[in-house]
């Protein structure tokens, strides 16, 4: 079956950049722990440990499978910091004495910990050289073979794709602010080969005076978001990108998911909805796993899809890393083989 303009979209998670030595969320937690234990042993490190163990206790009580990571930590810290604006605040008698002692006066230690994490994160995902991320050129090679524009939706903040692929539309040109119209070309305009939607922001985005621009300067506070399960950012480009993901997930025949943990509920809901709407739609999940059957079961559970033989056949597990997949396997012929065969009318 031929691969058309809307046949396939891509969703990139943190695992897509691991082969380039960009640390995954768990590795960022290790870096944070080392920093706090060495430099902030008397104040912020005890606060971090208290929050971490309390979060893990809560997840165990609720029977949740979500891992503790840098994103879930920041979501919790922001929620604690904004406790007086929470809808349940008038109903809560008070916080535990242990938290009050660790958080400091007016929860100042929580603000400090958030500030440290948000300043360190860009350093963790910035590479001195992007040569090791050259496997991202596999998207360019695939697009050249396909000849249609392709849509990449990324949950990552790093610059691995932008530094290795030339013709990428990101919504920015020069010093001008972000413009969503750049993702929808008119009939008279030339189509950009690759459209990149960074769903959670980027380390080279800076928002000033309510305008979002790209910045090459170091030390900026990047415009990135965490935990949209808790608080969806009602500003562009985030709402626009989420809408675009929903639209193209519904249109596509195959969603290629590379290095994504299926831990973001708002993304899972959109994928699950698209899978329910079109019973022929498939997912290709690219990520190393020790047990393919268990991984298949886990993905169906996260997407809230029934674990039956039909749905199992719709999830294709590529038990490999992003580098090998992009360099050796991603071709138009490979995608064509995965597409559902159309039934003949006779």
The C-alpha atoms of residue 137 and residue 135 are separated, in whole angstroms, by 5
* Six-digit token string for 298: 């886990």
| Tokens 């013709």, residue located | 167
pLDDT reported for residue 231: 46
**346 residues of the chain, pLDDT tens digit each:** 678 777 999 999 999 999 999 998 888 999 999 999 999 999 999 999 999 999 988 878 777 656 788 888 988 898 888 876 767 677 766 778 888 889 888 889 999 999 999 889 889 999 999 999 999 999 999 999 999 999 999 999 999 999 999 889 999 998 899 999 999 876 556 778 999 999 999 999 999 888 999 998 877 888 988 755 444 566 889 999 999 999 999 999 999 999 999 988 899 999 999 999 999 999 999 999 999 999 999 999 999 999 999 999 999 999 999 999 999 999 999 999 998 654 444 3
Residue 343's pLDDT is what? 43
SS3 46: helix
Residue 315 backbone dihedrals phi, psi, to 5 degrees: -105, 115
CA 291 and chain centroid, separation: 23
> What one-character-per-residue DSSP string does 193-227 give?
SEEEEETTB-TTEEEETTEEEE---TT----B---
Beta strands in 14-129 (DSSP E): none
- How is residue 314 written in tokens? 């719709």
Please report the pLDDT score of residue 4 as a whole number: 77
Structure-block tokens of residue 35: 């920093």
* Cβ 283 vs Cβ 318: under 8 Å: no
Q: What is the dihedral of CA 61, 62, 63, 66, to 10 degrees?
A: -110
In this prediction, residue 192 carries a pLDDT of 87
**Dmax (CA) of the chain:** 76
């Amino acid at each position: 079956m031929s691969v058309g303009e809307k046949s396939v979209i891509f969703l990139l998670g943190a695992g897509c950049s691991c082969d380039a030595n960009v640390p995954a969320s768990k590795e960022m937690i290790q870096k944070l722990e080392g920093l706090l234990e060495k430099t902030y042993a008397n104040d912020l490190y005890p606060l971090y440990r208290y929050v971490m163990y309390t979060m893990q206790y809560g997840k165990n009580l609720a029977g949740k499978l979500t891992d503790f990571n840098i994103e879930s930590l920041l979501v919790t810290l922001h929620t604690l910091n904004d406790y007086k604006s929470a809808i349940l605040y008038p109903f809560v008698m008070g916080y535990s004495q242990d938290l009050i002692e660790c958080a400091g006066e007016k929860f100042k230690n929580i603000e400090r910990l958030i500030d440290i994490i948000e300043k360190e994160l860009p350093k963790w995902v910035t590479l001195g050289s992007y040569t090791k991320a050259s496997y991202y050129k596999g998207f360019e090679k695939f697009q050249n073979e396909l000849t249609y524009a392709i849509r990449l939706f990324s949950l990552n903040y790093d610059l691995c794709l932008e530094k290795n692929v030339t013709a990428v539309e990101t919504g920015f040109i020069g010093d001008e602010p972000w413009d969503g119209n750049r993702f929808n070309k008119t009939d008279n305009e030339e189509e950009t080969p690759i459209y990149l939607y960074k769903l959670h922001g980027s380390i080279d985005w800076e928002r000033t005076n309510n305008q979002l621009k790209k910045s090459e300067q170091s030390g900026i506070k990047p415009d990135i978001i965490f935990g949209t399960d808790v608080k969806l950012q009602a500003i562009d480009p985030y709402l626009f990108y989420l809408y675009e993901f929903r639209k193209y997930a519904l249109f596509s025949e195959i969603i290629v998911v590379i290095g994504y943990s299926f831990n973001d509920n708002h993304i899972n809901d959109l994928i699950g909805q698209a899978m329910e709407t079109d019973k022929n739609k498939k997912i290709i999940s690219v990520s190393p796993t020790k047990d393919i059957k268990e991984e298949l079961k886990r993905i169906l559970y996260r997407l809230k899809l029934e674990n039956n033989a039909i749905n199992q056949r719709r999830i294709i597990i590529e038990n490999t890393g992003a580098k090998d997949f992009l360099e050796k396997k991603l071709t138009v012929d490979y995608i064509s083989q995965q597409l559902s065969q159309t039934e003949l009318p006779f």
